[in-house]
Amino acid sequence: MWSPEATCAASIPVCDSSGHAGNVLACLAYPASEFHGSEFQAAAFAVSRIDSFHIESDCLQRWGSPNVSDVHAEQIRGVKFQAAKVEEPQGNYVAGHSVYRTFHKEACYELDVNISTALDSAFAAEDRPRKLSAAERGKIEGALTQALEGFRFQK
């Protein structure tokens, strides 16, 4: 049985963590229990409509975080997006976000691939979790990227 507490619970939320005043329309979470005992906290693919941006240039150029990097244009299923990477540290945790924005039918939409992990400093020395391997991180990112690449507007 799916439980949001077991799947999405993290110190940095993964279903709406980009700092915008958007409405989350959909959120697909990766099962956190798969990597129990690791630094992995939560991960999700989220789709939001950002109601505070009514102009295309604001939607595509105003990011909610000062930690934005690698801003570039990208296409997903023929739709043009402005994409960026965001790293969000918060106390003993850090979230990495791949953010994709587009202006569609007079509204700003954001797609996020979010992964939240704990730093060693979040634990006592004897309780430190193991680091995710590159293969494990790739498995998480691959599943969320598959959801991203399957996104499309119905109308």
Question: Looking at the domain assignment, is residue 110 inside a domain?
Answer: yes
Pure H helices in the chain: 4-8, 56-61, 134-149
The whole-model pTM stands at: 0.86
Question: Looking at the domain assignment, is residue 124 inside a domain?
Answer: yes
pLDDT digits (tens, 9 = 90+) for 90-149: 888 888 889 999 999 999 999 999 999 988 888 888 888 889 999 999 999 999 999 999
Question: Looking at the domain assignment, is residue 155 inside a domain?
Answer: no
Which residues span the domain enclosing 41?
A: 4-149
CATH, residue 16: 3.40.1000
Total domains in the chain come to 1
Question: Looking at the domain assignment, is residue 68 inside a domain?
Answer: yes
**Which residue in the block uniquely carries the two structure tokens 């998480």?**
140
Contact (Cβ atoms closer than 8 angstroms) between residue 128 and residue 60: no
Q: How many CA atoms lie within 13 A of 6 on its CB side?
A: 8
Question: Looking at the domain assignment, is residue 62 inside a domain?
Answer: yes
Task: Output DSSP code: residue 38.
Answer: B
The pLDDT assigned to 89 comes to 83
